Amino acid sequence: MQNNLPTWTKNAMLVAVLLLAALFSFRDIYSPDIGFHLQAGCWITEHAAFPGLDTFTHAAAENSYIDLNWLWQLLLYSCWKAGGSLGLVLFNSVLITGALLLLVKRAEGSHPAAFPWLLLLAVIALSASFEIRPHSLSWLLLGLVLRQLELFYHGKEKAIRWVPALMLVWVNSHSLFVLGLIVMACFAVSVCLRQKHLIRPFLLYSSLSVLACLLNPYGWRAFLLPAEQFEVFGSGSIFRPYITEFQSPFHAAQYSGGFSQIVFRTWHYFHLFTALVLFLYLVRWRKYALHEWLIGLVFSWLAWSMQKNTGYFIF
């Protein structure tokens, strides 16, 4: 696809979309989990320890508990102490806007004419997910890991040195740190087949990244938590039909109702975004490396399976 947009026009469009995203992120605090996360941050601060039991659930206070959100919860609690509700909204807005800025940076030179429109669709589609939750930080960390691995793959070998540190932050912020390991596994295929001279540093820093993931309050048990969560909320879960975010965004019922409901339902913008991305993949399939295809397939499946995963597909 040729670039038919002048540079200043494209840049102006990107800035406008980023400002729109920042505006969308300034909203009433409506997440039902916000009190839980603030209480966890308060508990960690007061006890100078990490939760090992489910102390916030009265009927399960003696059950074992793994809190991989602890670092994000501490940051959230600190923002609330410093700035109240506005501090929480600003913190979340910075994470979301930062993740989108990083996406713009990573997309430089690719699909120059289509990208501003894709970004606009992505922002509209994701706007319903701009609530204050740890996935905002995960979006940013996913983008950072991808950025460093892309730079490494294209010749900047020192870029991969940051990946273990990023994984250390991620494993102590959100259970979906495993997505970073999955991304590294996808890159490993391309490195072994196409960039064999990079195998040695890749193995070194990918191994350090896995070891970094063990540096959390719960050790190796952190690797089990994502699998346990998937089992609880996967396709066979009794909870899934009753929790919207665990249902697929591609559901025929979303096209029921009148014209206004169809046009203004945010998931339809995600459907359009997905269709355009698929079209670009098919048109330019020769230009994509093997790891890009693998990452696309993995994250497409994640997005197809649950609404809460759509952000990872976009970023």
Domain that holds residue 88: 7-314
Q: How far apart are CA 45 and CA 184, in angstroms?
A: 34
272-276 contact pairs (CB < 8 A, 24+)? 272/121, 273/118, 273/121, 273/122, 273/125, 273/314, 274/300, 274/303, 274/313, 276/114, 276/117, 276/118, 276/121
In the chain, the amino acid numbered 93 is S
- Residue carrying the six token digits 């494209």: 10
Per-residue pLDDT at 7: 77
Q: Output the pTM of the full model.
A: 0.90
- Residue carrying the six token digits 């400002």: 19
pLDDT along the chain (315 residues), means of 10: 64 88 89 90 93 75 84 97 95 96 84 79 89 95 98 95 98 96 97 95 98 96 85 66 72 56 69 87 85 93 85 87
N residues, the chain = 315
Per-residue pLDDT at 1: 44
**Phi, psi torsion values for 57, nearest 5 degrees:** -115, 110
For residue 109, is it left (φ>0), alpha (ψ between -120 and 50) or beta? left
Cα angle value 100/106/107 (rounded, 5°): 90
Is 82 contained in some domain? yes
Provide CB contacts within 8 A for 159, sequence distance 6+: 147, 148, 149, 151, 152
- Beta-bridged to residue 64, according to DSSP, are 53
Is 1 contained in some domain? no
CA distances from 23 to 31, 93, 123, 133, 201 (A): 18, 9, 11, 17, 42
Is 185 contained in some domain? yes
Is 44 contained in some domain? yes
Please name which of 301, 50, 292, 82 lies closest in space to residue 171, comparing C-alpha atoms.
50
Is 65 contained in some domain? yes
Per-residue pLDDT at 2: 46
In the chain, the amino acid numbered 238 is I
Per-residue pLDDT at 305: 84
Report the domain count for the chain: 1
- Residue carrying the six token digits 């909320």: 233
